């Protein structure tokens, strides 16, 4: 039997990782997490299933890496939106719009992030954690700016909660629960909640 091919070195390890991530990210965008298959990724890049496992360890870890890639793209998208409105624009509205727009434009990427659960015995790699922190950082900076305050514990605590609030509205909007409950504009409602909270804090600490 002539079965194994041994090391080919068509690509370096780093190139191979990028190849897999790139093809995998495109596949998630196309078919969503439900239709995702590590085998299909292997097929598309012309490597075998075994190679995917060699490089990423498991399908779950590959998906985690793909979701981190989505987070990074999302953070970049938010930065662009903020850049576009400029220093005097409505930066909070841009931030909320950026959250929703990313979810609407890249629904499969977005739902994959929140639908995927790592097995209990697995945890995020440091690279994954770092990538996912970018988004939080952007929001923290904007909240500090909106409150004319330095980035302190209060601002971080508040940002966390505001992200959760916007996320809840966005998750319901994308998942259909918002419409099921008879709602129309989830984004506007989310923005109203954000303004409300920030103005409550402003009153509080004045």
Partner DNA sequence: ATCATCAAATGAGCACCGTTCAATAGATTA
Partner DNA sequence: TAATCTATTGAACGGTGCTCATTTGATGAT
- 5 near DNA, judged by CB under 7 A: yes
C-alpha to C-alpha distance for 164 and 185, rounded to whole angstroms: 18
Which tokens in the block code for residue 151? 């980035």
- 8 near DNA, judged by CB under 7 A: yes
CA distances (Å), origin 124, targets 47, 158, 184 = 25, 25, 36
- For the CB of residue 116, give the shortest distance to a second copy in the complex, in Å: 9
107-140 burial, b at 16+ Cβ within 10 Å, e below that, comes to ebbbbbbeeeeeeeeeebeeebeebbebbeebbb
Nearest to 171 by CA among 124, 112, 111, 120: 111
Question: What is the x/- site pattern for DNA, positions 10-49, by CB under 7 A?
Answer: xx-x--x-------------------xxxxx-----xxxx
List binders of a second copy among 158-187 (CB under 8 A).
160-161, 163-169, 171-172, 175, 178, 180-183, 186
- 125 near DNA, judged by CB under 7 A: no
Helix ranges (DSSP H) in the chain: 13-35, 38-45, 49-56, 59-85, 91-105, 107-115, 126-147, 153-175, 177-180, 186-204
Q: Which does 125 bind (CB under 5 to 8 A by kind): DNA, a second copy, none?
A: none
Q: In sequence order, which residues have a C-beta less than 8 Å from that of residue 114 and are 6 or more positions away?
A: 171
Q: Which does 202 bind (CB under 5 to 8 A by kind): DNA, a second copy, none?
A: none
DSSP code for 150: -
- 115 near a second copy, judged by CB under 8 A: yes
Interacting span for DNA (CB under 7 A) from 54-62, 72-80, 84-92, 109-117: 54-62
Q: Which does 37 bind (CB under 5 to 8 A by kind): DNA, a second copy, none?
A: DNA
- For the CB of residue 171, give the shortest distance to DNA in the complex, in Å: 24
Residues at the interface with a second copy (CB under 8 A): 32, 34, 111, 114-115, 117, 124, 129, 132-133, 136, 156-157, 160-161, 163-169, 171-172, 175, 178, 180-183, 186, 189-190, 192-193, 196-197, 200
């Amino acid at each position: 039997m002539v079965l194994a091919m041994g090391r080919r070195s068509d690509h370096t390890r780093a190139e191979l990782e990028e190849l897999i991530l790139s093809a995998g990210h495109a596949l998630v965008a196309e078919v969503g997490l439900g239709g995702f298959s590590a085998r299909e990724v292997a097929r598309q890049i012309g490597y075998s299933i075994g190679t995917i496992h060699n490089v990423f360890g498991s399908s779950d870890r590959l998906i985690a890496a793909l979701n981190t890639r989505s987070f990074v793209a999302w953070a970049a998208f938010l930065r662009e939106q903020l850049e576009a409105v400029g220093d005097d624009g409505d930066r909070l509205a841009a931030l909320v719009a950026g959250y929703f727009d990313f979810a609407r434009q890249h629904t499969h990427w977005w739902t994959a992030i929140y639908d995927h659960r790592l097995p209990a015995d697995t945890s995020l790699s440091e690279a994954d954690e770092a990538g996912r922190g970018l988004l939080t950082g952007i929001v923290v900076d904007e909240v500090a700016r909106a409150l004319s305050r330095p980035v302190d514990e209060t601002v971080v605590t508040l940002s966390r909660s505001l992200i959760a609030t916007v996320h809840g509205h966005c998750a319901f909007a994308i998942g259909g629960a918002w419409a099921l409950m008879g709602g129309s504009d989830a984004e506007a409602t989310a923005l109203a909640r954000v303004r409300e909270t920030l103005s409550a804090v402003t009153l509080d600490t004045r």
